[in-house]
Structure formats: C-alpha cells, structure tokens
Amino acid sequence: MKKLLLTLPLLVFIAISCNKPKTMKEVNPLLVSFETPFQLPPFDQIKLTHFEPAIDSAIQLAKLEIDSIINNTNPPTFQNTVEALEYSGILLDEVSSIFFNLNEANTNDTMQNIASKVSPKLTAFSDEIYMNDKLFARVKDVFANKDSLNLTAEQKTLLENTYKNFVRAGVNLPADQKEKLKKINSELSLLTLKFGQNVLAENNRYKLVIDKKEDLAGLPQTAIDGAAEVAKQNKMDGKWIFTLQNPSVIPFLQYASNRDLRKEIQQAYINRGNHNDSLDNKQNIQKILQLRIEKAKLLGYNNHAEFILTENMAKNPQRVFDLLNKVWKATLPVAKKEVAELQQIINSEGAGFKLEAWDWRYYAEKQRKIKYDLDEEQVKPYFKLENVKDGIFWVSKKLYGLTFVELKDVPKYHQEVSVYEVLDSIGAHQGIIYMDMHPRESKRGGAWMTTFRSEYKRNGKKLPPVVSIVCNFSRPAGNAPALLTFDEVTTFFHEFGHALNGLLADVTYNSLPIPPDFVELPSQIMENWAVEPEVLNNYAKHHQTGEVIPKELVDKIVKSGHFNQGFATTEYLAASFLDMNYHTLDQVPGEFNVVEFEKQSLNKLGLIPEIVSRYRSTYYQHIFSGGYSAGYYGYLWAEMLDADAFNAFKETSIFDPATAKAFCDNILAKSGTEDPLKLYVRFRGKEPIIEPLLKRRGLK
C-alpha cells in the first residue's frame, strides 16, 4: 500500500486492480474489472455518484488486506510484510487516482464537493496504516534484519522507504501526539484542496471584455480570432474576451499596444486569490504554513523544508540556498542589463514612461525583433499542434524505438482527449498515453503529466502503464488550426519527457518515490531536442504550405536561445526563494501578513520592480496545493542535471543509440529504485557540474 499523496496529482502512482470481482449485473463500474481495451477506465460508464461509494468500499477492502498482514501468525518476512503491504490497497489506488485526475482535468462543483468529503477519509486511512504500532513492529523486524536478507537493490529501497514512511508519518510518537498529527493531516488535506479550487475559480471569473476594435491594436490575428471565439462562447458576439489562461493573457501582454489594458490584465493575473473575498487564499496560506511547521516539529524537524528535503537530492535547505544564490548572483546583472535595453526602446519611441512589469513582454518582443529579426508570430505558423506531436513521436522512436498508434474506439473522459497505444521497438505493447491539450473552465491551469496506472510487476507479470499529458495550449482560432508558441512547443516536449519516464518504467514496485529535484530530469532533458535543427526540420512545417521551416529562421531561433534569460531566470528564482523562505520559517505569528512577508522576502533578495515573481503567494499552486512545497527549486537542480546529461548526447550525437540506451536503462526505466545520484553517475560516469547550466542560460 503506497502512502497516499493526494496533493501531488502530477505524480500519482497507481496500479490496476487484481482484486475486483467480475460480475454480470449492473454495479458500480469502478468496483468491477474493467472490460475495456487494455483495461482502461470505463469513462463512458462512470458517473459522479459512483466515486464516493467506490472509495468507501475500496477503503474497507484495503483495511481487510492490511489486517491480514497484521494478524499473520508467521514471523515477519520481506514477502509477507513489506511486499504484502506494497501490493495492498490496489483497488483504492486505482479508484482514487481516477477521481483525482479527473478533478484536476475535468472538474465541476459536484466533483469538488466529493473531493472535500473523500480527502479527509483517505488521509485518515493513510494515518491509520502508518501509525499502526503492530504493523510497524513487523516492518521494523524485517528492517532490523535487512543485511541478511539478500535483497535486490530495488527491494532494499522499498524496505528502507517503507520503514521511513512509518517513521515520517509519526508511528513513534506518543498516542496524544499521534492524534494531534492526524488532525493536522486532515486539516491540511482540506486546506490544500481549497487553495487549488480558489485559484481555478479565480482563473474562470476574470474576463477582459473589449468592444472597441482599436483596443486590439498590435495583436496578431490568431489572438484576435481566439478572443472572438471566447466571446461567442460567452454569448457576446461582436466583442472580444481575453482571460487569464496563458494562451490568452501572454499574447495580450506581448502584443497589445494599449498599455492601460496590459496593466489591467497583468494586475488581474498577479492578484489572483488576493481580493479579500470568498476566493482569497491568504488565510489558507497562513493556516497551511502553521500546520506544516507544527507537523515538522512533532516529527523532530525545525521546519517544513528540513522535513521535505531529507528525502530529496538536496538533502537540506542550505544546499538549496547555495544553488539558488549562485545562480541569482549570475542572473541579476543580466536582468538589469535587459531593463536598460528595454527602457532604451521606450525612450527611443518618445513614450516618456518608466518600464513597468506590464510592459516587459511587450518591449521584450520588440527587442527580439531588433536583436534577432525574429517575431514569434513568424514561427507560430510552423508549429501546428499535430505536427509538433508527430515530431515528438519521431524523436521518441529515434531515441527509444517507440511507435504511437491512435485508438479511436476507447473510452475518454472528455471528447477533446486523444488516446494512443505505445508500442516498443519490436511492436509489443508498451503502454497507453492520453493527451488533453486545450484550456477549459473545468481544467486547472498549467501543464502536467499524471498516471491512471503506473507500470509494476506482480507474480512475474508486468502491468503496462497508462499515462496522461494535460496541457492548456492555444486552441484553433478562425480558419487556422491550433498553432503553438515556441514556449508551448517546449512545454509539450517537457511533459512528454515525463510521459516517457512513465511509459519506459521497468520497476517491480510502483510506490517508490522520485524526488522533485530528480523527477524533472527526464522532462527537462527532452526540451533540448525541441530546438535542435535536425528535429525542427522534421516537425516544423508551415500549416498552409507544408514548407519546412527555413534554415535562416531556425538559425534565428537557435541564436535567440539566450534571449530574455535574465527575466526568465530571475522570475523563476524569485519564486524558488519565496518557497524556501516560507518553508524555513519555524513559526508563524498570529498577525502574519502574507503580502508583507512576500514583499520583504523579494525586497531582501533584491528583485527589481520590473520583474514579478513567477508565482505570487496567493496562486502558488506548486507549493500550496501541489507536491512541490520546499521543492520548487527542483526545476533548477534538475536543469543542472539535464544540461550536463544532454552534453553526453552532444559529445556523440543527439540520437546516439548507446547514450540513449544508457539514459533509458539508468534514468527512465529505474527512477526511484535507487539513490538518484547513483543512477545518474551510472549513466554519466561522473557527478553533474553546474557550468553547462550557466552556459545554457547565457550566465557564463
């Protein structure tokens, strides 16, 4: 039974049930074997009313399975205790994962109410397992004899993680403190859920309605057509609506000439969850921080960051701060230089104002044209969504021998979702991937990969994975198909890297955790192929003419690789520091002011006013409703790994078979089975160095 991680939707590890009864009569479809191709979830049969009773039933079944381990009269062994615990609760894992994946990608008020009911139940059940003294006594007995058990590396990791899960869940605490910790966990499960629900509601309620055509000045036709489509959907034909979804707000900030409107939508974006109303998240943040600190101290840590980082590659807060500070020191001068360059453009136009945060993307786009003769609208026609997807499939085949076959007649949770069977190099079934590409009000913002079923093995049988990519990419607009920005292209490659990690997994146990500062390595290294000329020539084809992207345009894209990196790195680092500053607190005073704390943290850092932290506190889902608390730095840590790892390909070739096999065998297939640094060194032959990262970002 894996420890339930309900606030980490992008890293949900589940398994197909081997325990569900088969039946011919009409019952809850979540509680019978899935009679579907590849045993995929029967989305066409599942109703919202099925979820809560299915989760309740699955909890009861899991309790029986746990009781059988506790009451086993045979001496505890790895097989009858640790492995039995690993394989318990499979039905619960499956049902809850289906529910929480849908709650992220296709939610509604009813689902959110169900989530508020079942989250505390699942948290309580997890506590019941990991605070059980009798069960822990059996695990402890096996752990004490681990050196004499002749276990494989993966079995040792499972044993060590199982033992630590009990300790980190508070099994050694006195009874009264256990009850206190249970209450904290229950409250946190609801608070983090509420935080994310508020952000989704904030995203959906703001609309910038434009009824004067002159206010569209500067915007590309694709953005105008997209806004017209949104207006039509809102029964406001003849007007244009821009929202806080990235495919809408980012082009507006890049191209709209109307400075007042740029300011309005940018301010709406950065103040989500900060309006002192029913959707305000400041009090939620304060409570979350208080409870996380209280929990950390109960478990013997000074703060939440210490509790989290002992399980990450970084190991402690100081190592995180050391990395962040080293890159910050190199980045801030670059960002200040960029400010001066953008201000020079403003001055040359005789505009007579100082650069502000809502001006940055607009003047950066002008600067891109000046420096590189490159306009993002020039390249978008070459980034048709379907072509980019085909390019990613091509890269995956070249590297790992995978083939993707679309499945038309399988259940889907939304009509926009596409489904593919993944075949290995000899044409055998490797797994399934769902793709959900466009924004809608029922989907949270951002992009992520998740699993409906993680790969694992039982009784010598391999259970193939079912993974899903969920994104919020630009929709088709007017007569044009879905055309992506280059940022969306790299995001697609990024999430597909996560998907490859899931599809190519070759592990026995699917509960083994992958720390956030390692889990981003497979995704971030995949981004490198997106900009390689050989790869661009394969997928970047004009959506009207079919013309391959011209070499001069490819050269411009490559040369502009360092463009705006001061801004991009600074806004990311600011958010990373903010995360660490929150989670190294050892107390939260009753009069704690979230906005003031954020302001002081960023001022102390020296963040320049022209740049806003990538995430401000009240919509910072990664750390307050996701799995990245004290872990947002992990993207940078993983980039240090991926920049160094991609050099291994560049030293040979970007499709070198031996290098690809080594990366697959040691990283993609075995993530979580051993210490991450050991796996990396086994692939690379040495520990990673930071210099390739600094060079890539133009900071060295």
- Give domain status of residue 31, yes or no: yes
Residues 62 and 124 in one domain: yes
Residues 232 and 83 in one domain: no
- Give domain status of residue 571, yes or no: no
Q: Which residues contact 185 (CB under 8 A, 6 or more apart)?
A: 123, 124, 126, 127, 295
Q: Which residues contact 347 (CB under 8 A, 6 or more apart)?
A: none
Give residue-wise pLDDT tens across range 293-306.
999 999 999 999 99
Rounded Cα distance, 280 and 20, in Å? 42
pLDDT at residue 288 above 80? yes
The residues that bridge with 477 in the sheet, in sequence order, are 480
Cα angle, residue 212 at apex, residues 207 and 218 outer, rounded to 5° = 85
Residues 21 and 72 in one domain: yes
Question: 10 Å Cβ neighbour count for 249?
Answer: 21
Residues 107 and 250 in one domain: no
Question: 10 Å Cβ neighbour count for 50?
Answer: 18
DSSP string, 352-367: -S---GGGHHHHHHHH
Share of the chain above pLDDT 70, in %: 96
End of a domain among 141, 168, 195? 168
The residues that bridge with 433 in the sheet, in sequence order, are 420, 467
Domain count, the chain: 2
Catalytic positions, written as ranges: 495
Q: Which of 12-16, 111-115, 277-281, 418-422 has the lowest mean pLDDT?
A: 12-16
DSSP string, 228-291: HHHHHHTT-TTSEEE-SSHHHHHHHHHH---HHHHHHHHHHHHTTT-SSSTT--HHHHHHHHHH
Residues 110 and 238 in one domain: no
Say if residues 430 and 402 touch (Cβ distance below 8 Å).
yes
Q: What is the pLDDT of residue 25?
A: 54
Residues 164 and 261 in one domain: no
pLDDT at residue 54 above 70? yes
Residues 13 and 158 in one domain: yes
State the CATH number of the domain containing residue 18. Answer: 1.10.1370.40
- Give domain status of residue 624, yes or no: no
Q: Give CA separation, 463 vs 54, 274, 563, in Å.
A: 22, 45, 44
Q: Is 449 helix (H, G, I), strand (E, B) or coil?
A: strand
Q: Looking at residues 528-549, what average pLDDT do you find? A: 96
Structural domain including 256 reads 206-270
Give residue-wise pLDDT tens across range 17-38.
334 444 445 689 999 999 999 9
End of a domain among 168, 188, 216? 168
pLDDT at residue 2 above 70? no
Rounded Cα distance, 653 and 656, in Å? 5
Q: Looking at residues 626-633, what average pLDDT do you find? A: 96
- Give domain status of residue 43, yes or no: yes
Whose tokens are 């191709």? That residue is: 37
- Give domain status of residue 434, yes or no: no
DSSP state of 21: P
Residues 44 and 150 in one domain: yes
Residues 241 and 92 in one domain: no
Q: Which residues contact 428 (CB under 8 A, 6 or more apart)?
A: none
pLDDT at residue 45 above 90? yes
Q: Which residues contact 697 (CB under 8 A, 6 or more apart)?
A: 327, 331, 562, 565, 569
DSSP state of 630: T
End of a domain among 142, 168, 194? 168
- Residue 477: pLDDT band (50, 70, 90) is confident
Give residue-wise pLDDT tens across range 245-261.
999 999 999 999 999 99
Rounded Cα distance, 359 and 571, in Å? 15
- Give domain status of residue 88, yes or no: yes
- Give domain status of residue 70, yes or no: yes
Arithmetic mean of pLDDT over the chain: 94
Structure tokens that stand for 260 in this block:
């007042």
Give residue-wise pLDDT tens across range 349-370.
999 999 999 999 999 999 999 9
pLDDT at residue 15 above 90? no
Which of 458, 698, 432, 380 shows the shortest CA–CA distance to 561?
A: 698
- Residue 460: pLDDT band (50, 70, 90) is confident
Q: Which amino acid is at 474?
A: S
Residues 150 and 253 in one domain: no
Residues 13 and 162 in one domain: yes
Phi, psi angle pair for 676, to nearest 5° = -55, -40
Say if residues 635 and 575 touch (Cβ distance below 8 Å).
no
Phi, psi angle pair for 34, to nearest 5° = -80, 110
Give residue-wise pLDDT tens across range 188-219.
999 999 999 999 999 999 999 999 999 999 99
DSSP state of 6: T
Structure tokens that stand for 573 in this block:
């680092």
- Give domain status of residue 159, yes or no: yes
Residues 146 and 14 in one domain: yes
Give residue-wise pLDDT tens across range 134-153.
999 999 999 999 999 999 99
Question: 10 Å Cβ neighbour count for 655?
Answer: 15
